[in-house]
Structure 1
Amino acid sequence: MSKPVLYTFGGSVWAAAPELAVAELYPDGAIDTKVVNLVQGENFSPSFIKLNPNATLPTLEADGKAYTSTRDVIAYLVENGSRPVKRGTSFIDIIHEDKLDPNFALLLSRNDEELKVKGAGLVSAFLSGRQDALHKFSTSTEATPFKAFYEAKIAANGGLLGIYKGEVADAAKEGFFKQSQAHYDTIAAFVNQDLPNYLPASGFIGGEEPGEDDFHLGAWMARIVLTLGAKTSEEAAQAVEKSYGKPLPEKVAAYWRAWVSRPSWKKVYAEGLH
């Protein structure tokens, strides 16, 4: 039987979640990996859309089947891992709600200053790379069955790119700033008020070792801390306090320390948070 194949990318927030699970639950080499470069829009190739109609990472091919959501990929990895861990709960649904979306947390800008900084950096390059890829792939003959998909993606990504390129009316830009501030505030409230209620005093939701919920939450937290200015795990506490005006709640801080001390975390985030 061929080995499972995990489609991943080093800059993807949700692809890091199964990478943590693989590092925790599988011996080296048990799962093959294939890199799909999101910055270059490789996930929008017709061949990848055939595999995953959502064109998202992570994606897992195993036992002749494609698993195309973070939840399903991790559920498979947990179910077939080398040791049992605590299975997931409804918390997984919560951390994947749109209002807590870690991808928009990276792409948002709350004012002109943030817009200028992000527009000169990775965010603009990411959006431009996606748009170029969408236009390129959408004109191929293989893309014909996915015409509606490409049209929707080109419009949505192009709208966001237009904001960063200064090509939209002031009213649209101000609306984006308000949407961004609301998203930022919602995540801040979740981290400071709601998240501690789901966490134990020490260790993980899954117990002394990470469980299924923890693979999702660990990856989510890494991205959120990155958006607050931390490039490495060690910079997290300072970045959060600077952004939120207060330290992480003790339960959240203890949870972060539990994760960053593990070999799996150090492996997945060896080159920094993402």
Structure 2
Amino acid sequence: MSGSLQLYEFSGSVWSNAPKIAIEEGGFKKGQDYDYITINLAEGANFDPSYLKINPAGTIPTLIVGKDTFTDSISAVAEINKLAPNKPKGKVSGGAGLIEEIHGAAIDPNATLLLATDDKDREVKSNGLPKAFLAGRQKALNQFSQSPPAEFKDFLNKKREDNLQLLDFYTGAPDEQTRKAHYAQGQQLWSSVGAALQGFVADALTKNHQGPYVGGSEPSEADFHLITWLARTITNAGVEPGTNVDDAIKQLQAKTGASSFDDSIKLYWETWSARDSFKNAGVH
């Protein structure tokens, strides 16, 4: 490997976990081969113009390798694997297509975190992380949009308006029509998550029958994305850390409205939860 990796990340960022797992699996040495630079999403630091100059989309993660910048987890993981002392041993036919499906907007784990499904869920989110996260972002967006560089003005104003609309849903008193429309979005998201788990996810885990991973007996590049998505989806379903695998899957079924999931999903979660890279990266 030539040069060191700089990964802009945040512990609460779902997609930061994919390159973190890739780094752990790849055999890189912290401080020698890579460094983490924390961008606090809960304080809206990703909207600071100084960060937008690095990643104009204001998203996390961002990977810098020498003069090259990779501004999404898909390209970041691919680059990390290319440079890794230990390449992923698992091989997947059509892995790129699977990764794209995992990142689909219809099953976005950031959306399942922030959108409520009913009045009870709205109350929980109003008194928990989602509202606090949105409030922190709003404070930063109000500040950074006051006199931003011209190149970021429209972007920051749009982000400020969109974030405020969602924050108002949790801090204000939305009427019944607004609540129903919001809940319909949240319910559709979770329904799509259930369909994905019963569909392409189960298909990917069972098509070769050679091991618990998509890559067979060893993880593949696609696995780094799939476990990242599954872990955050399970957390968003209300599963507490340390919950045993059977109860975790039951809660996930209840949240998605699915009658059952293939046993391969339970095995996948159980296997990854015990893996050192998963634990070292703090995936949740």
Shorter-chain TM-score: what band?
Answer: over 0.9
Alignment of 1:213-232 (within 5 A): 213-232=222-241
Letter in 1 for 2:70: Y
Could you tell me whether the CA contact under 8 Å between 2:214 and 2:223 is conserved in 1?
A: yes
- Counterpart residue number, 1:156: 162
Task: For residue 243 of structure 1, report the CA deviation from its aligned partner.
Answer: 4.5
Partner of 1:72: 75
**CA shift at 1:203, angstroms?**
2.5
Q: Would the aligned equivalents of 1:237 and 1:248 in 2 still touch at CA under 8 Å?
A: no
Determine the C-alpha separation between the residues in 1 that align with 2:82 and 2:3: 18
Is 1:102–2:102 an aligned residue pair?
no
Equivalent position of 1:253 in the other structure: 266
Q: Which residue does 1:25 correspond to in 2? A: 26
Q: Distance in 2 between the 1:46 and 1:168 partners?
A: 33
SS at match of 1:89: helix
Structure 2 CA distance for aligned equivalents of residues 236 and 160 of structure 1: 33
- Rounded to whole Å, the distance in 2 between the matches of 1:26 and 1:68 is 22
Choose 86-95 or 114-123, whichever is displaced more: 86-95
Structure 1 residue aligned with 2:13: 12
Partner of 1:51, secondary structure, is: coil
- Say if 2:189 is the partner of 1:176: no
1:122-161 map, 5 Å? 122-141=129-148, 143-161=149-167
Q: Which one-letter code corresponds to 1:260 in the other structure?
A: S
Match for 1:39 among 35, 42, 50?
A: 42
Which residue of the partner structure matches residue 198 of structure 2?
192
Distance in 2 separating the partners of 1:134 and 1:26 = 38
CA contact (8 A) 2:245 2:270 kept: no
**1:45-69 Cα distance to aligned partner (Å, 9 max, x none):** 0011110011001100112111001
Paired residue secondary structure (1:39): helix
Report the alpha carbon displacement of residue 242 of structure 1 after superposing the two structures with TM.
3.4
**1:63 maps to amino acid:** G
Residue identity (%): 33
Number of residue pairs matched by the alignment: 270
Q: Deviations over 1:215-264 (max 9, x none)?
A: 10010000011011222254443133135245542111111122112100
Alpha-carbon distance between aligned partners in 2 of 1:84 and 1:242, rounded to the nearest angstrom = 35
Counterpart residue number, 2:275: 262
Q: CA deviation at 1:208?
A: 2.1
Give the corresponding residue for 1:84. Answer: 87
243, 249, 257: which one aligns with 1:240: 249
Which residue, out of 120, 123, 130, partners 2:127?
120
Q: In structure 1, give the amino acid aligned to 2:139.
A: D
TM-score (norm 1): 0.93
Superposition RMSD in Å: 1.7
Kindly provide the amino acid, as one letter, of the partner of residue 194 in structure 1.
Answer: F
Letter in 2 for 1:108: L
Alpha-carbon distance change, 233 to 249 in structure 1, aligned in 2, over 3 angstroms: farther
Q: Which sections of structure 2, spanning at least 5 residues, go unmatched? A: none
Pair 1:167–1:51, CA change in 2 (3 A): farther
Contact 2:239 2:251 in 1 (8 A): no
2:166 partner SS: helix
Moved more, 207-216 or 217-226: 207-216
